[in-house]
A and B are shown apart, each in its own frame.
Chain A
Amino acid sequence: MKEKPLAINSFLEGEHVRGYYVEAVDKPGVLWSILDVFRKHEVNVLSINFSPTSKSERVGLLFIVADLKGAEGLEEKILKELRDTQDVLNVELEKPQYFGILADHLHFPLVDGNGRRCLLTSEKEYEYTLKLIRERLGSPGLALLYHEGRAIGSGYAKLFAELGIENLKDLITLFLIYIRGYGILKGELVECSFDQSARKGKIIVRAYRLWECEAAKKAGINEPSSHKTRGVLAGLIEDYVKARVHVREVKCIAKGDPYCEFLAEIG
């Protein structure tokens, strides 16, 4: 199967889109019964947001976005039928509001699979920030991005240590899984060598579609631009190996390479 972008939070535009908040008992078959209401009326479901419920919580909340074009008169009927569905406890209808945008107002905050709060930021925001940092702060501003990343990387190292990571390769592999999940990049560990006693090592990480460099490229910057990600990698590895790590971005999509590549040298 081919990868596709994942639209989070259903910021959908259009006068025919409708959102249904559905509170239902979390048990097998409930989702099928709910979606069957839309199927019966031949209404296309555009997206469904819901989170796994915790063990103590037996009620889940869904936000279903449907396209009611050509079925405008059905919105109340669908609402009623959803309310009458077995194991459904409550249903509310959400219509597009300001500027015709439909948004999910009841799922807040955003969390990852472990319940840790996450923030969504748009590429455009970073593009503006990067431009401003370069123009107003120059090289020290870029260094600040690096150091911010370094602190984040150190935080990841501590988090993974709690999960019982036993070697550097596992640490970086898990890190790449995490940040792929956060939509930062698609990473590949190309090389990882570390001599524990000499505290020396070399790591090569390849990054595809790194958001930081994609945004830089769009902002017209055509040089290695992943100062924050370099810092994250440095902080992650430094915290684990307890030695200074020098990370360079030796390839970058912003300067025309097919991917970004990081060379981390320990010691």
Chain B
Amino acid sequence: MAESERFIKELMEEFENKGFMVNRRGFIEGISGIRHYFDIILEDPKSGRKIAFSLTDRIRYEHVLSILAMRIDSDTPHVIVANEVEPSIEELLRKYNVFTISFNRPKFSMLMSLPTKDIKQFTKMVTSEILRFLSTISGGSVT
């Protein structure tokens, strides 16, 4: 994840600017009472609404079951930032309201070569994309 660290940092700053609290490494309890680990948990202090982030290297088919199981168990919207995601998996996960940011997609692959100013601009765009995703799932339950 080293090459995407800068982007994550910018993204979290962007959410902080929008009033979210950022907690690194935390757990969210699911409907089952089981606690699920996330790398970053954002919380809107006004509404108490949370967004969970997982940072990973790649998402392959063998990971889908566990991602969807987590989705069934938790109402918290889930965003996964990965270096590599199979396009068909990305599509599948989106159907179940899991948002993925993958650096193998063209719009992200050029990210690392961007000057700082452009990265800020780019993270603003991703942030609004995530927020738009959140508004479409309104509550986020897929169960």
Q: List 20 A-B contacts (CB under 8 A).
A: A139-B70, A140-B65, A140-B68, A142-B34, A143-B30, A143-B31, A143-B32, A143-B34, A143-B72, A144-B65, A144-B72, A144-B73, A146-B31, A146-B34, A147-B31, A147-B32, A147-B69, A227-B32, A230-B32, A230-B33
Number of interface residues of A (CB under 8 A): 17
Kindly provide the distance from the CB of A117 to the nearest chain B CB, expressed in whole angstroms. Answer: 27
Instruction: Verify if B24 is at the interface (C-beta below 8 Å from A).
Output: no
The 8 A-B pairs of least Cβ separation, nearest first, read A140-B69, A146-B32, A143-B73, A140-B70, A140-B66, A143-B32, A137-B66, A144-B69
Q: Is A227 touching B73 in the complex (CB atoms < 8 A)?
A: no
Residues of A within 8 A of B67 (CB): 140
Residues of A within 8 A of B33 (CB): 146, 230, 246-248
Task: Please encode chain B, from 93 to 136, with 1 for each CB lying within 8 Å of some chain A CB and 0 for all others.
Answer: 00000000000000000000000000000000000000000000
Kindly provide the distance from the CB of A66 to the nearest chain B CB, expressed in whole angstroms. Answer: 48
Instruction: Verify if A231 is at the interface (C-beta below 8 Å from B).
Output: yes
Q: Is B66 touching A231 in the complex (CB atoms < 8 A)?
A: no
Residues of B within 8 A of A146 (CB): 31-34, 73
Number of interface residues of B (CB under 8 A): 17
Residues of B within 8 A of A248 (CB): 33
Instruction: Verify if B37 is at the interface (C-beta below 8 Å from A).
Output: yes
Q: Is A141 touching B32 in the complex (CB atoms < 8 A)?
A: no
Interface on A for B, CB 8 Å cutoff? Answer: 136-144, 146-147, 227, 230-231, 246-248
The answer for the CA separation of A142 and B73 in the assembled complex, in Å, is 10
Q: Is B36 touching A143 in the complex (CB atoms < 8 A)?
A: yes
| Most chain A beta carbons < 10 A, residue from B62, B68, B70 | B70
Instruction: Verify if B60 is at the interface (C-beta below 8 Å from A).
Output: no
Kindly provide the distance from the CB of B3 to the nearest chain A CB, expressed in whole angstroms. Answer: 26
Instruction: Verify if B25 is at the interface (C-beta below 8 Å from A).
Output: no
Residues of A within 8 A of B30 (CB): 139, 143
Closest A-chain residue to B30, C-beta based?
A: A143
Instruction: Verify if B35 is at the interface (C-beta below 8 Å from A).
Output: yes
Kindly provide the distance from the CB of B75 to the nearest chain A CB, expressed in whole angstroms. Answer: 12
Kindly provide the distance from the CB of B69 to the nearest chain A CB, expressed in whole angstroms. Answer: 3
The answer for the CA separation of A147 and B34 in the assembled complex, in Å, is 11
The answer for the CA separation of A230 and B33 in the assembled complex, in Å, is 10
The answer for the CA separation of A144 and B67 in the assembled complex, in Å, is 11
Closest B-chain residue to A246, C-beta based?
A: B33
The answer for the CA separation of A147 and B72 in the assembled complex, in Å, is 8
